[in-house]
Structure 1
């Protein structure tokens, strides 16, 4: 069986060890109550979105942040190379794009998709970002992470950026998106990250470039963008696709028509998703401004230490089945499809041990992912 971490009500309340008091953690899904549903969430009064084979997806208006439709928006899945959107968004402001580096042997020997880095060649940082976002180079991802100081530092930075964006379903364990236990994201978070990336001119330039010359030990060779909708779908800007045998297909992409931009993210798609993504984008453009949104892509928090601010549920939405709130990050890796919703607990300092014992007693074993 494949594993999906089900969004459920927070199990453990936050406790202040200094004051001995406690408070209930927010349980409303980020972006709105309806987005906690595992089923289709679509607006009333307009045609429903096209049927999708994706286990999870989000269609949203980038300009307004309105979520137009969603399916299991906060379901946590392996992101594959769509996680590179977070890598780029995190590191573009930190690294001088004109700086030249020689990659380590470790970076050059990364498994999976690679652009072909060589320890004998010198690369500008912007070359590596093009390789990351156009050719999905896992070698480029590691080279950028190491240039940021270290792999560990980059993972801290990426996870801090996810929290700042309120992408709370996202846990980054690798800069490339290669599968690793505990790594996760959601269709909601991918749309949120892409929306933030589109405000950065360099990010936008990297994702929309179709072909580019790439340095080699002697001369150059050409690399191309893996996004098959570039040049084929009207208004396509780009963003990122991904695939692993465990994650299956994933994609986040944005297109602009008549001054409006729609973003679509899909996760856990078996087979080719390109045609279907085009239909979801078409639907988004057709209903934009004509129906009440089912949720919101929230704005980043102004301070990295600020608490997440869940959105309000939207009127006039169809939810199938009943909404389920998302899970606290601290319990994410412990959940499986067999987990049950547990009410939020409010306790005093004296009952902390009892709560920990309760949490231990009801944990479910983790399902194994299918290759």
Structure 2
């Protein structure tokens, strides 16, 4: 994602035209004007990324327009332009929300540096609300020592350092998204954006805009230009969670992004190129979906470069108590509860339960139990909402008379 559209607002024609020419030579789309009235008209008819704004204009102060721009959540960044005698005023403008200022006369090199700084900061700003990586001290969120989990960890460690597309499959609640996050955290792109798209939670009519963004006026309600998730993830990783829920009408466009690394925003004609690593998850059998005509075969093979199947909890019984104790400790700490433990009967019940909702069901049951538990008492099966298992007492050893 880069700066595309810029407005130059300065009443000095020589400065305005020189700056406009320089920016156009760098392939930016530029609009310019010499007063506040013209600037407001330009900003009303299109979406812009950056405004170079003179501090003093014939019909008012640049600060008036600055306040209007910064009041908008998704407004353009503003760089103030001022003479030597107004540096203090320019600094005051930054406190009002301007990104930076340049002192006239300025060089072309200064302008290039400022535009690059704006581009970097703007991308960070827009990515932040979609950035899902959690900062914690855990080396890995994949808990378990069973053979299926050790195999899973081995696969994750091998493919994480590559940029291969990975398709993570498994039943609901097995931890597919957790595996995807481990792939990201251990990748060479771990310092770059990680954007998650829950394909099942976005309506078909909005999906294309969410993926690829839209231009102002592209449809009713598109009051500003908006970058899509692929654009925000440029240089990093995107997770397409529940990829099977993507409508057939959008699958061809998604295939193009995966193959050609390019797309157009909805309502736009500019081709945008991105470099993004793709991770995808699904709880469905995609090959069966292909056979039934619900999923494109070419898209399936493009996603299935490196498949990882997450095992259900029922095939990793030796991990159940380890997981239960991990969740117990984690949620007790989270909710400010002291040391807590299971009764022997509760441990038996946990092992006897089939946990159809897999790890998610187990964790949810443990969090609820922690909240309901009485201080100083061990957790019993009823707090987990599962049947108790009778623990037979150990037979007393017969004492023999000497």
> How does the TM-score come out when normalised to structure 1?
0.22
- Computing the radius of gyration from Cα coordinates, the structure with the larger value is 2
Structure number with higher helix proportion? 2
> How does the TM-score come out when normalised to structure 2?
0.21
